[in-house]
Amino acid sequence: MTSQRTRERLIQRLYEEGLSNPQVLEVIRRTPRHLFVDEALAHRAYEDTALPIGHNQTISQPYMVARMSELLLEAGPLDKVLEIGTGSGYQTAVLSQLVERVFSVERIKVLQDRAKERLVALNLRNVVFRWGDGWEGWPALAPYNGIIVTAVATDVPQALLDQLAPGGRLVIPVGSGEVQQLMLIVREEHGFSRHVLGAVRFVPLLNGPLA
């Protein structure tokens, strides 16, 4: 269930679905996704599907993790990335192997605590965590070259736009219910350019920390 062959099959599928960044695909290949789900679901870890992780949250499907990572990196290497929604820590782990530093915010403390343990076990040490409200971002450490949001927002949080560095890229699902679109927002010299990239399905980005 966690064999190299199973992982290779997943990478082949992602490639066939149009993902092409070799660095991203290699990180997905070597990151043990089965460690980020409950043991009972480990046999499904390398399927290209979202899986429940408790607290009405999911671990994103590998395609979406890879796609959002590719979009962040399209303009070149990134030094400082803000992640909204640590969740299981899987996207965090992938990002930490692609960029210099990751700052990850999660409102559900028990999920973030588990994610921290997993990243320590994998010796991924360039991540700093904050338990708090994702709508607020992490203003104290702004600006960020990239921001990635792993839950759907009803609209783009102004706080995240404010915390984006010039030339920085924000990847975020926006919408509600069945109507959700993945967006790429780039901070230009005189404002923001917005690109709608297609329909997605994410759990909602909620307000307020939860112990």
Question: Which pair of structure tokens corresponds to residue 202?
Answer: 């994410």
Report the 10 Å Cβ neighbour count for 82. 27
Catalytic-labelled residue, pool 3, 20, 60, 193: 60
Question: Which pair of structure tokens corresponds to residue 36?
Answer: 């980020």
Give the Cα separation of 152 and 168 in Å (integer).
Answer: 20
Residue 57, strand partner residues: 54
Active site residue 60: yes
- The SS3 of residue 131 is strand
The one-letter amino acid at 32? P
- The residues annotated with a catalytic role in the active site are 60
